[in-house]
Amino acid sequence: MRSLLFSVLASFPLLVAASPAATATLRDAQGKVVGTATLAPADGGVRIAVRVTGVPPGPHGFHVHATGKCEGPEFKSAGGHFNPGAREHGLENPKGAHAGDMPNLTAGADGTGEGEFLARGASLQPGSGSLFPEGGTAVVLHAAPDDMKSDPAGNAGARIACGVITR
């Protein structure tokens, strides 16, 4: 019995480490679930793994936005990009990037896509760069690809899906 209890307790940290620290369910303008994002701590920031389905084929801008609200149909309630360092937009901008700037997410001809990105400088803990400030944060999928350099938002077009980041 004692050996069994030790085995169960010894495996508990592995179970905890394997579960995501935060998630977001992406919904389109009609409220239909079109994707999920799982977030976990990583060296230098937060790892975001995202999967989408039922979205238009092609590349899409994907960002963390500064407000945890996803009111359709335009999702403007999510605010601008998450930018605690007050930098300019774009992974290719020498004065950037926002902590919420990610590479484009590409959906195939069948409308599905997945990617894993690092939100550099973001954190799941309280303090600077936290994805859990008062008012929260959200992930947003855009209609067009991000050009990776235009400030403030990369010309990524309309917001087509949004999900509030939650623990």
Per-residue pLDDT of 88-126, as tens digits, reads 677 878 777 877 889 999 999 999 999 999 999 999 999
What is residue 153's predicted lDDT score, i.e. its pLDDT? 67
pLDDT at 151 over 80: no
Residues recognised as catalytic: 63, 65, 81, 89, 98, 101, 142, 159
Question: What's the farthest any 2 CA atoms get from each other in the chain?
Answer: 63
Q: Are 52 and 161 in contact (CB under 8 A)?
A: yes
pTM recorded for the entire structure:
0.85
Q: What is the DSSP string of 16-39?
A: HHHS-SEEEEEEETTS-EEEEEEE
* 30 phi-psi bin (left φ>0, alpha ψ -120 to 50, beta other): alpha
Per-residue pLDDT of 135-148, as tens digits, reads 999 999 999 998 87
Neighbours of 103 (CB within 10 A): 16
Could you give the percent of the chain with pLDDT greater than 90? 65
What is residue 1's predicted lDDT score, i.e. its pLDDT? 43
Domains of the chain: 20-164 (2.60.40.200)
Instruction: Classify the C-alpha dihedral 121-122-125-130 as positive or negative.
Output: positive
pLDDT at 167 over 80: yes
pLDDT at 61 over 50: yes
Q: Are 24 and 40 in contact (CB under 8 A)?
A: no
pLDDT, the chain, mean? 85
